[in-house]
Chain A
Amino acid sequence: MSSRPVALLAALALVVAAAGCGGPMRADELSRSIDTLASAAAEGALLADGAAQDRTKATFTRAHARELGETVEHEAEKLSDATANGAVATDKADAVELADRISQQLGQLQTAPDDRAGARSAGDRLRALADEATRLAEDAGP
């Protein structure tokens, strides 16, 4: 097998990837980023349900809530660092604020995975935040 087609494909991949770098944040990029926040919030709600009903393992709840929290914080940092114009800038600011609220609820699960009442409350809030993020992603989308 000639290595030329592979090299061409790799070059194409690099060009396409490079095309996506730099410049102000696009609506589709923002929408993808908010989708990640919505997914983390929805998964946090599932995790919280298990903790609220005492149907899970505390170490799992704590470790997985930490992972989800790190995902959200990483996404928030990416959003904060990105430049944006017009409506994208407004939605981006909303997304950063939303990420902060999701992070707080995940922090509650991480800090007290055995607190059933706290988990129930975190679950409800995370579900609402996931819905909010989904709506924001739809608004922000191209």
Chain B
Amino acid sequence: MKGILKIALGVIAAIGGFVDIGDLVFNAQAGASVGYSVLWAVPVGVLGIIVFAEMSGRIVAVTRKPNFVLVKERYSERLSLFTLVASLVLTCLTLAAELGGLGFVLNYFFDVSVGFFVLVALLVAAAVIAFVPFGGIERVFGYLGLALLVYAAAAVKLDPSWSAVGQGFVPEVHGDALHWYFVVGLIAAALMPYEIYFYSSGAVEERWDERDMAVNRANAIIGFGLGGLLSVAILVSSALVLGGAGVTPESLGSVALVTQVPYGELGLLLALVGILFAVGGATIDTAFSAAYNLAQHQGWRWGKRFQLVREPRFTLSLAGFLLLGFAIAQTGVDPIELTEYAVIFSIPVLPLTYLPILLVGNDRELMGRHVNGPIARTLGWAYFALICVLALAAPVLFVVTNGGS
């Protein structure tokens, strides 16, 4: 029973981390703009995050060290500081986008004002962080985020050409820059740095040890695999509903509209509830990730497993990042544009995030019998090479395609 409950960590990381505002928008835009031809990028990204999440969870179980402690140990002081600053900037932008997105979703339910609901979202997120135990946060947001499964049902009900969907999983040579922009964006959205920071720090919060190896593996595979399934469902249903009507989705409302077409008001409400809890979970993930990174870099005591009032520096940084995200969201910046920038410009930071995990995972002296096997080592280096290629390609594609428009 305890093992089953622990799998919730993977589920929230998947629903509230993997399927965040960036995934929702990028998958819908990709489906509407270029159709099924980029579907293969989803499993590529999902396998990458599974490989590195499993590795980082295993490292925590053996060494009790979360990702940013590895960054500090393996990099020079200057590079470690650069990685910290870059990750904080990107995580805060993502946090602002998630808070802004929550404002829009709540406004679809009550139609008062987006700005007012961004404030409500901030207060609710702060209250949840302060008063709900870590396990409770996982379960509430992870399980209610499962309402997004309505996209899987919608994809089936819309009756796509399954052979065309199947062909989408086979990569093809393409000369269109927009196609490659979405390929890079879909892979990057799966590998957003804050996901791995949250996963490894969450494993410390859950006090994983060597007995939790099976739970770690199940979390990574089930959690992120489920996230990948949702991504495919959103992409396919958006291709049919939005792409078929000539719509390029520019807001979360466009993404929600997709399920209204096959299922009417019930479909719309399920999509809105799923988006609300997925984006809400991601808001909390990103706030924690930023505070975790800063505390781990500075060597402070950190974590929700302790009483927050007894960790003033960690608690203040958590509050500070939430307020910073709120301030950015309240400037009126479009959360969708913000999340697109955050996804694309997180790519150059990806190698710095993932290299320490790979180095420690391959270190037999530290990892003992849990060192990376030949499959994990080969996949790890292959993905690291891919991440380096993406890091170079992403900014160029962003400029060439005018931000995917």
Contact = CB atoms under 8 A, between A and B. Distances in A.
A34 B260 CA distance: 26
Given A1-B79, A39-B248, A56-B268, A62 B260 contact: no
Interface string A129-141: 0100010000000
Nearest to A53: B264
Interface string A46-82: 1101100101110110111001000100000000000
Contacts of A38: 246
Contacts of B110: 59
Interface stretch (A9-17, A84-92, A93-101): A9-17
Contacts of B79: 1
Contact of B82 (A3, A45, A130, A134): A3
- B111, B396, B399, B402 — most chain A CB neighbours (10 Å): B111
Given A39-B248, A43-B247, A62 B268 contact: no
Given A6-B348, A60-B272, A55 B265 contact: yes
B111 A43 contact: no
Nearest to A35: B248
B253 A42 contact: no
Given A43-B257, A45-B245, A50-B260, A10 B395 contact: yes
Contacts of B143: none
Given A1-B351, A56-B265, A134-B246, A47 B399 contact: no
A46 B241 contact: yes
B396 A9 contact: yes
A26 to B, nearest CB: 12
Contacts of B399: 12-13, 16-17
Contact of A57 (B241, B251, B265): B265
B131 interface: no
Contacts of B169: none
Given A9-B395, A13-B399, A56-B268, A67 B251 contact: yes
B54 to A, nearest CB: 25
Interface residues of B, number: 38
Interface string B230-273: 00000000000110011111110110110011001100110010
Contacts, number: 88
Interface residues of A, number: 35
Given A32-B405, A57-B269, A13 B256 contact: no
For the complex, would chain A's binding face be called helix, strand, loop or mixed by DSSP majority?
helix
A56 B245 contact: no
Contacts of B241: 46
Contacts of A12: 395-396, 399
A97 B242 CA distance: 25
A16 B403 CA distance: 13
Interface string A27-45: 0000010011011001101
Contacts of B268: 50, 56-57, 60
Interface string B90-123: 0000000000000010011111000000000000
Given A59-B108, A59-B111, A32 B245 contact: no
Contact of A43 (B254, B264, B392): B254
A67 B253 contact: yes
B268 to A, nearest CB: 6
- B241, B260, B398 — most chain A CB neighbours (10 Å): B260
Contact of B398 (A13, A42, A67): A13
- Closest 8 pairs between A and B when the two form their complex, measured CB to CB: A55-B264, A64-B253, A59-B111, A39-B248, A43-B247, A42-B246, A60-B108, A63-B111
18 contacts: A10-B395, A17-B399, A39-B248, A43-B249, A46-B257, A49-B261, A50-B257, A55-B265, A56-B268, A57-B109, A57-B269, A59-B108, A59-B109, A59-B111, A60-B109, A60-B253, A63-B108, A64-B251
Given A6-B348, A32-B402, A43-B254, 16 more contacts: A12-B396, A16-B399, A32-B405, A39-B247, A42-B245, A42-B246, A43-B242, A46-B247, A50-B261, A55-B265, A57-B265, A59-B108, A59-B111, A60-B272, A67-B251, A67-B253
